[in-house]
Amino acid sequence: MDRKFVFVLLVGLVVLMAALVTQGLLSTAGANNQKPQDQTQSQTPSNSPTSSATAAAKTKTDFNLLKEVYQKMKDNFYQPDRVQDPSTLEEASIRGLVSTLKDPYTRFNTPKEYNDFTGSLNGDYEGIGAYIELRDNQIVANPIKGGPAEQSGVRSGDVILTIDGEKADGLSTTEASSRLRGKKGTQVKIQVLHKDGNKEAITITRDEIHVPSVESALMDGDIGKITINRFGDTTASEVERALKSLDDSAAPKKLTGLILDLRGNGGGYLSAAERIGSLFVDQGGVLLIEKQRSSEMDDKSFGNNRPNLPIAILMDEGTASASEILSGAIRDNHMGILIGRNSFGKGVIQTSVPLSDGSQLIITTAEYLTPGQHPVQGVGLAPAKGFHVDSWADSINEISDEMKNFGASLGTIGLSHGATTTQSGSAAIEPTASDVVLKSFGKLFNDLAQDARQDDYQGALGVLGQIREKIHTDPVQLITDTKVDSTQVEKDRFALLFGGFVSTFQPQLDKLQQRLEHNDIATALDWLHSPGIAGKTCPCKSPDDPVSTTANSNEDQNSK
């Protein structure tokens, strides 16, 4: 088929759809199940000219006028180079047509975009290392643990405002992703809006991103921990191998429980989530309920051949889509509990429809509910009662903001230059003693965060002890230890400001310590070792509901 004709056909569809929406002629069936055309006919007398024209438009559209307009533009526009070639206009018209659905998850992918998308599900690509979603028409980032975005300061739930100086508002996830990706070593500048309301400009150096699908470790000799970072083609079989490896590692003892870590997992293939769910839910158990256009279907477990060990699922704001499906299936079948913070809330399913040129239409085809009929879209899943775990990262971010404010106050009285790394050949700014002190605190907090990201909470608490020791050091001694020349007046001024800084800093350190001690891993282990759960198999529910009893008994401890 001639590409020009395809283009005009598609543009015609866009224009027609827009016209119908503008005129209020497209509507969904109401509670009485009327068809759209029945509602339209009841609004306009059948003998009116408008009615006749509308009926004609419904039965016959040849797009001749549209083709005529395009040809006139091509023949007469005074800058002919601004009339796009048919292939470019074809792609733009398709994206326009898709956008009329106003669904953030339905999208058109060129062959390259689709290859990039599947590559990310397989865990290998070059970019900033973050999952992005569209929420309330805003691009929301959830950085991958240890990736360039996280290391540069991007926080889970950040709204990306600009990418390389251009507004991100109005971009699709495909468009935003293409701008954020790039060759290793290149940089991208973004501005983000943190959840605390602060805006921050961040420069990220792109890198090779390799996210292992599944990781596993044995804890306390009898608790298996499986981390699922994404739901790709091979993830289910990798989980099966991880379970076998954990069984072997625990021998001669037997596993008594599992921790399933889905923090930061933005989802992937539905089929992978169903296969993994079947490893933990008995045959015939409902994994999810799909609500399609005119039908509802239960997706059921294929069946497992393992003991039903109690499962503690770790989740956070980045737990989305397939991760929420798996979490809801395990929770509602009483095979375990949810620990952490509310999940993202993506409760719809997309189907990939291949097109003739290798491109793909990714289209939302269903909403899903958990087996207990709980909706997920826009609301997410909540942790079990008493098992909410506050984020240590939020405390780190609050402290980081406080340190920036302290640095700014030092600058106002000439104690700080705001030392920065300069490019080769430019004049270096010599850091002041105050700059060196602040930098040393920053390094300690970076080390602490690195340990905590790797779930080494004891290591993080050890670094926190070093920070506590440092803030109780004589501030004049801190300045002296930098070996940077400073006057006594400078030392005295720093000491005065540092005393005020410590008075607000100390409570934040106390909060951080509490969050590091009551972390999600420790909470999961406590539950799995509790008398009502340890040594038992699931369903973890009986007439007296030991799960709820255990949750309530720990509520005060875990809600701090």
* d(C-alpha 556, C-alpha 387), whole Å: 10
Q: How many residues does the chain have?
A: 560
Report, as residue numbers or ranges, the catalytic residues. Answer: 321, 332, 346
Q: Decide: residue 460, CB within 10 A, 0-12 exposed, 13-18 middle, 19+ buried.
A: buried
Scanning 284-321, the segments in alpha helix (DSSP H) are: none
What burial letters (b/e) apply to 341-363, b meaning 16+ CB within 10 Å?
Answer: bbbbbbbbbbeeeeeeeebbbbb
Q: Closest by alpha carbon to 400, among 204, 189, 153?
A: 153
- Which residue type, as a one-letter code, is found at position 397? N
Q: Which residues contact 322 (CB under 8 A, 6 or more apart)?
A: 231, 265, 267, 268, 269, 270, 272, 273
* d(C-alpha 354, C-alpha 16), whole Å: 25
Q: Closest by alpha carbon to 176, among 213, 208, 212, 130?
A: 130
What SS3 class is residue 235? helix
Report phi then psi at 215, rounded to 5.
Answer: -130, 150
For the record, the structure tokens of 44 come out as: 């306009």
For the record, the structure tokens of 5 come out as: 């004709």
Q: Which residues contact 501 (CB under 8 A, 6 or more apart)?
A: 402, 406
Q: Which residues contact 442 (CB under 8 A, 6 or more apart)?
A: 403
Q: Decide: residue 132, CB within 10 A, 0-12 exposed, 13-18 middle, 19+ buried.
A: buried
Q: Which run of H or E residues covers position 547?
A: helix 546-553
* d(C-alpha 513, C-alpha 462), whole Å: 10
* d(C-alpha 49, C-alpha 333), whole Å: 59
